[in-house]
């Protein structure tokens, strides 16, 4: 028997009497409860955790993930104690729903930290393959159960990421059991999709000159062409050569010896043939300089792609700048590691928002309201740092903290391809400050996601709880482990929280 942890505090959605009868409820006011505690695991391997909301004890029983063929069923029981305040009513299906829909648990995710993979609830025509249509209203002395199907994980255990509730770790994955439920029972057809993908960690140098991406053992360092080359030029200046030398030294420290592939890319200005030739020449220039620092244990190969593989759509100056780049691909020695590459000495930028320290909230004005943000916990879990950020509405009125973590993407961040909803309504903009880079929450390509965002984020992606004065929620973020004993959480243009201790 194992004891597991739940990171974050509980959130409840209070519904009206009408919502309790089965109509589609809007999420109501939310309030943070006490820190959760673990209780003894159940005999069947279920992970049991206890949370509290407004004095109402709620027990979550996360059953083993049951694999049957290509699919896997996640079952969670939610039980409220008899001593909960009279009139308490939580709609689990409204709380855990997909953005833009009602009454499902579509925002649950499975995470394999060792294999660096993530799975989302199956969906059919935009509707989650789960308990859609049932509010799952939880009242004192009552119990409700959610069911959701995923693609079958290839792992012996997974972590379960809940919106607002946090990360439940080490849930067993079992096979060969009779689950008694099929995807068809929950509304799936033969066209249903079950998104999954490899988890990636991503950083952007403070000056925007470089970015890094690591998925398992595969790393890509992206160098901005505008830093290395003048317009229509493929020769490195002495300053650009020094920038490549700095990047090469950091790559050599992180990489396994072997093949290094250098690929040139251009924007869409000019002819296809001209851009292809220019990208070839630029890749060759960078590779020649890299080879001087990397040494004989590495084999360099170059290729040019011209304008054929843009990472940012559109023709804006920002999009075209993101597309002008040289990518260096190699194998890292440590899978999923937090990798920082800069093109020189880069100082930590001055804060661009309110500043606070661990243990005391920082107040932020955004969207016509004032919010208090606290970093209540950051701890190590496998390759991740798991953070809990508490958000409290300080000002009068009611509304969701949309935009609290930043604005739309710009610069190197454009290459992630995240939607404006994810960037402004979720916690993706909550970064850690590394030695020379912003370290973003881990994300993953979702594969065939039925027309939704191509990339998901291992953080609360849609913080839409309408808070009134004095009410608060806690969001969870999974960052790459930077190896620091204390960290600084920074949301550019919004807030910075320094000296947050790392536990574990």
Range list of H helices, 160-268: 225-228, 238-254
Rounded to 5 degrees, φ, ψ at 203 are -140, 155
Distance (Å, rounded) from C-alpha 52 to C-alpha 112? 27
Q: How many alpha carbons lie under 13 Å from residue 323 in its C-beta half-sphere?
A: 21
Contact assessment for residue 367 and residue 399, using Cβ atoms and an 8 Å cutoff: yes
C-alpha span between 350 and 490 (Å, rounded):
11
As separate numbers, helices (DSSP H) first and strands (DSSP E) second, the chain gives: 7, 34
| Structure token pair of residue 400 | 């969701």
Q: Residue 210: name the closest of 219, 200, 221 by CA.
A: 221
Measured CA distances, 386 to 175, 379, 389 (Å): 29, 5, 10
Q: How far is CA 40 from the centre of its chain?
A: 29
Q: What pLDDT is stored for residue 99 in this prediction?
A: 76
SS (H, E, C) 248-310: HHHHHHHECCEEEEEEEECCCCCCHHHHHHHHHHHHHHHHHHHHHHHCCCEEEEEEECCCCCC
Quick one: pLDDT at residue 176? Answer: 79
CA gap 253, 62 in Å, rounded: 41
CA–CA distance, 415 with 210 (Å, rounded to integer): 12
- Output the pLDDT for position 60: 92
Beta-strand pair 354-357/495-503: parallel
The length of the chain in residues reads: 504
Give, in degrees to the nearest 5, the angle at Cα 266 between 265 and 269: 160
Contact 475, 389 (CB under 8 A): yes
Question: Which ranges of 295-408 does DSSP label H, i.e. alpha helix?
Answer: 317-323
3-state secondary structure of 124: strand
Buried b vs exposed e over 114-138: b needs ≥16 C-beta within 10 Å? Answer: ebbbbbbbbbbeebbbbbbebbbbb
pTM of the entire structure? Answer: 0.89
Structural domains of the chain, with CATH = 6-175 (no CATH), 200-331 (3.30.1330.60), 354-503 (2.60.40)
For residues 19 and 37, is the Cβ–Cβ distance under 8 A? no
- pLDDT beneath 70: ranges in the chain: 1-42, 52-56, 448-453
Compute CA distances 252 → 258, 333, 368, whole Å: 11, 10, 48
Judged on CB neighbours under 10 Å (0-12, 13-18, 19+), 176 is exposed
- The SS3 of residue 425 is helix
Pull the structure tokens for residue 37.
């505690």
């Amino acid at each position: 028997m194992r004891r597991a942890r739940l990171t974050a505090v509980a959130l409840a959605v209070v519904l009206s009497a009408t919502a309790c009868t089965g109509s589609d409820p809007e999420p109501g006011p939310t309030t943070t409860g006490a820190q959760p505690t673990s209780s003894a695991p159940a005999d069947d391997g279920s992970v049991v955790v206890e949370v509290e909301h407004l004095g109402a004890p709620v027990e979550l029983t996360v059953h083993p993930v049951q694999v049957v063929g290509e699919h896997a069923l996640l079952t969670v029981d939610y039980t409220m104690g008899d001593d909960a305040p009279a009139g308490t009513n939580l709609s689990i299906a409204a709380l855990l729903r997909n953005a833009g829909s009602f009454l499902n648990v579509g925002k649950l995710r499975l995470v394999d930290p060792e294999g660096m993979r993530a799975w989302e609830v199956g969906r059919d025509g935009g509707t989650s393959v789960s308990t859609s249509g049932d509010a799952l209203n939880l009242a004192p002395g009552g119990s409700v159960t959610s069911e959701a199907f995923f693609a079958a994980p290839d792992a012996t255990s997974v972590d379960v990421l809940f919106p607002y509730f946090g990360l439940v770790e080490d849930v067993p994955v079992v096979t060969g059991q009779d689950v008694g439920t099929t995807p068809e029972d929950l509304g799936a057809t033969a066209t249903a999709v079950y998104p999954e993908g490899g988890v990636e960690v991503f950083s952007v140098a403070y000056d925007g000159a470089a970015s890094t991406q690591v998925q398992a053992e595969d790393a890509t360092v992206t160098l901005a062409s505008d830093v290395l080359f003048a317009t229509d030029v493929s020769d490195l200046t002495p300053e650009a050569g020094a920038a490549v030398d700095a990047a090469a030294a950091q790559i050599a420290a992180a990489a396994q010896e072997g093949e290094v592939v250098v690929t040139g890319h251009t924007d869409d200005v000019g002819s296809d043939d001209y851009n292809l030739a220019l990208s070839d020449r630029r890749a060759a220039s960078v590779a020649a300089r890299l080879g001087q620092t990397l040494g004989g244990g590495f084999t360099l190969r170059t290729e040019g792609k011209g304008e054929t593989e843009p990472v940012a759509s559109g023709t804006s100056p920002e999009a075209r700048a993101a597309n002008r780049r040289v990518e260096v691909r190699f194998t890292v020695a440590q899978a999923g590691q937090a990798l920082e590459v800069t093109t020189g000495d880069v100082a930590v930028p001055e804060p661009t928002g309110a500043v606070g320290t661990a243990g005391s909230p920082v107040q932020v004005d955004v969207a016509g309201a004032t919010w208090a943000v606290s970093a209540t916990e950051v701890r190590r879990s496998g390759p991740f740092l798991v953070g809990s950020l508490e958000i409290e509405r300080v000002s009068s009125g009611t509304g969701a903290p949309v935009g609290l973590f930043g604005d739309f993407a710009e610069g190197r961040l454009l290459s992630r391809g995240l939607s404006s909803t994810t960037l402004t309504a979720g916690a993706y903009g909550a970064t850690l400050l590394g030695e020379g880079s912003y370290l973003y929450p881990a994300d993953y390509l979702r594969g065939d996601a039925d027309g939704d965002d191509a990339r998901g984020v291992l953080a609360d992606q849609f913080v839409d709880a309408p808070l009134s004065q004095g009410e608060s929620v806690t969001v969870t973020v999974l960052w790459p482990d930077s190896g620091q004993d204390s960290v600084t959480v920074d949301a550019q243009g919004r807030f910075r929280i320094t000296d947050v201790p790392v536990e574990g």
